Structure 1
Amino acid sequence: MNTYERIKEIATEHGMSIREVALKAGVGENLIYRWKHTKPSLKSIQKVANALNVEVEDITSTSDKDESSQYRAIQRKAKKLSIADQEKLIDIMDTIFDKTDDE
């Protein structure tokens, strides 16, 4: 997944278009489209990350080749939780899905 595709995925989760992201980030819409084929500057990526309220690594990470967009969305949201809330989330998931760490 390239930088543009990742931004598009996150923007869609936030109900935003690429145009809206570009306006909120203060970068050109065409600049974001160019990231389909070129590598963006860290400064521009930081602006887009701020506009989307995500970490830069959420846009630049390349380690999720086999992960679904839903899984990546869960990761992004869980990262923003406190440790205590992350533990509560795990308990909730275990309860809902009747799973344990032993499985």
Structure 2
Amino acid sequence: MGTTTAAIVDIPQLEKTILQMAQDCLIVAERYRDKRLQGTATDEDAETFVDNSVALETLVKLAYDNNSGMTTETRMLLLGIESQEVQLMLPLREG
């Protein structure tokens, strides 16, 4: 799935950490989507998903701020992760 932050060597460590946190949120979203599609998602799964979705949204806000101090590369990668989450959740919205 998507972005491998371990391969990114030319961005500051803080940005790598932010990208890894966003990627971790995306993994939680994927697991939740799979459980929902299988009909095995619990209330706890839903709560975890919402918490992580809010966390991802918070991280992505930095990408929309031109004055965040982030490199363009990191901003684009965060926007890509946001797009991936939207795509992951489409089957739940369509069903």
TM range (shorter): under 0.3
Higher relative contact order (CA 8 A, sep 6+): 2
Which structure has the bigger radius of gyration?
A: 1
Q: TM-score, normalised by structure 2?
A: 0.25
Q: So what's the TM-score if we normalise by structure 1?
A: 0.24
